[in-house]
Amino acid sequence: MIDGKQLTIHEVSQLLKSRQVSSCELTRAALEQIQKVEPQVKAIVTITEELAIKQAKQADERIARGEGSPLNGIPALIKDVICTRGVRTTCSSKMLENFVPPYDATVMEKLNDCGVVVVGKANMDEFAMGSSTENSAFFTTRNPWDLDRVPGGSSGGSAAGVAAGEAIYALGSDTGGSIRQPASFCSVTGLKPTYGRVSRYGLVAFASSLDQIGPITGDVTDAAIVLNAIAGFDTRDSTAVPLPIPDYTQCLTGDIKGLRLGIPREYFVEGMQPEVAAAIKAAIYRLEELGANIDWGVSLPHTPYALAVYYIIAPSEASANLARYDGVKYGFSYKDTDNMWEAMEKTRQHGFGAEVKRRIMLGTYALSAGYYDAWYLKAQKVRTLIRREFDSAFEKYDALVTPTSPTVPFKIGEKVEDPLQMYLSDVCTLPVNIAGLPAISIPAGFADGLPIGLQIIAKPFAEETLLKIAHAYQQVTEWHKRRASV
Ligand code: GLN
């Protein structure tokens, strides 16, 4: 935010290089914006003012020496599920309320090398379980476009923070839609990379076979810049893939002539808001005008099973991952007893919120002897079918185009009592994680002033295809330039 204008990474980076602004000025402006809007938006769990000022000074020194990457000196928010050395990392849970990691996640090491200025740790649904940020143990983040509505989730703080100008970009994590759905709800750009493209080392685990870190930014060029910085192999994550990383900004040519785009009809689900369907169709016509070949007749018949598969696999993995919170090693610890079993039980009873407990119970049940084959194994088989269906679609199409969410942002409180309704919010994003694919959400319109997001899905490691298409769309549209007026 400079002179009331919200800028992108690539714009600010130019200003920094030409010394029209310093990182210290930029950082102060971000911190002022945080002071101003945070009482309403509540996107941030921990504001890291001191750290930000220190990093900004170092960034300015690098600029003075003629050094620095495109991210050098630029203020960012980091979802509070990503470990930051010396900075509290809470997962918006009482369990980790006072947890200060002794190490940095790989993505943080990489951003530090690029000269990041961290202004804060962003609010989220507890342990990334949710679609509205209402499951945060601390407070609910509000949508900058309408403060009575949710920003989406689970990376709601990251998306709302970027939309409200509290930072120029953010990192989120996406297990079933948690980057793309809040990006859609807040009218910003959100990229979920291919499973294995970005290291998960230091990302607090929710569902390890689905989790992936990615950027939330003001536009597609910025998404490419951040992906350049965070992507790559890592010996500390056995699922990180040792493939070369292209320069993702090179594919932003604006030329999508002849690309084959499939429109899978199952993503236009029953109960979808008509304004959303209309906006998505209009966006697809835009892509056609740009020279893409559109096939409206695509069917991916296993799509409707994705929700059920996800809500077996993700809770199963979560129940195993969250077993580590026992009050012994780190995190919240119930101390009012000298009985060990009672201490563990009460630690988990008081440390976890209702949704987290619901997932642990679902997962424990699905994995238990006698039920494993009927639930977990069955879900894994359907997962393979979903993956194969995508594989054969990508023999015919370069990308698939769908809505990101069937609705615009809903009212705070509207779905908290009904977990199933809440789960439905991710029908369009979940299949992507199940198959480990990359996908992006970009702003594609508004209904009554509320944002609508377009999702583009590509085959594994084809992030360049996504970025190219999304960037071409942003060259001929203005949706991504509109800013919330908080
Ligand atoms: N909303 C989905 C869930 O609650 C996805 C969350 C995520 O991607 N982290 O599990």
Grade residue 2 by pLDDT with cuts at 50, 70 and 90.
Answer: low
Q: Compute, in angstroms, the gap from residue 61 CA to the centroid of ligand 1.
A: 40
Active site residue 187: no
**365 residue type, one letter:** Y
Domains present along the chain, CATH in parentheses? 9-255 (3.90.1300.10)
130 Cβ inside 6 Å of ligand 1: yes
pLDDT band at 3 (very low <50, low <70, confident <90, very high): low
Q: Is the CB of 343 under 6 A from ligand 1?
A: no
At residue 4, the pLDDT reads 62
Listing DSSP states for 378-403 in one string gives HHHHHHHHHHHHHHHHHHH-SEEEEE
Q: What are the residues facing 70 on neighbouring strands?
A: none
CB of residue 128 inside a 6 A radius of ligand 1:
yes
Expressed in angstroms and rounded, the spacing between residue 460 Cα and the centre of ligand 1 is 21
Distance between CA atoms of residues 372 and 421, nearest Å:
26
| Residue 314 CB less than 6 A away from ligand 1 | yes
* C-alpha 356 to ligand 1 mean position (Å): 11
The residue type of 250 is: Q
Which of 79, 110, 192, 346 is catalytic? The answer is 79
pLDDT at residue 424, rounded to an integer: 84
- Mean residue pLDDT across the chain: 97
Both tokens of 232, joined, read 């790559």
Residue 23, classed as helix, strand or coil, is helix
Reported as a single tens digit per residue, the pLDDT across 107-152 is 999 999 999 999 999 999 999 999 999 999 999 999 999 999 999 9
One-letter amino acid at 109 equals: E
DSSP three-state, residue 295 = strand
301-336 pLDDT tens trace: 999 999 999 999 999 999 999 999 999 989 999 999
358 Cα: distance to centroid of ligand 1 (angstroms): 13
Q: Cα-flanking dihedrals φ and ψ of residue 269, to 5°?
A: -70, 160
What is the Cα–Cα distance from 268 to 266, expressed in whole angstroms?
5
* CB 402 within 8 Å of CB 300: no
Q: Is 355 in the pocket of ligand 1 (CB under 6 A)?
A: no
Residue range 24-58, pLDDT digits in tens: 999 999 999 999 999 999 999 999 999 999 999 99
- Cα(422) to ligand 1 centroid in Å equals 10
190 lines ligand 1 (CB under 6 A): no
Report the percent of the chain where pLDDT is more than 90. Answer: 95
Instruction: Please tell me if the CB atom of residue 101 comes closer than 6 angstroms to any atom of ligand 1.
Output: no
Which of 81, 92, 125 is the pocket-test mutation for ligand 1 (most atoms within 8 Å of CB)?
125
Give residue-wise pLDDT tens across range 373-422. 999 999 999 999 999 999 999 999 999 999 999 999 999 999 998 888 88
* Residue 274: burial class (beta carbons within 10 Å; 0-12, 13-18, 19+): exposed
Neighbouring CB atoms inside 10 A of 392's CB total: 9
- Give the DSSP letter of residue 377: I
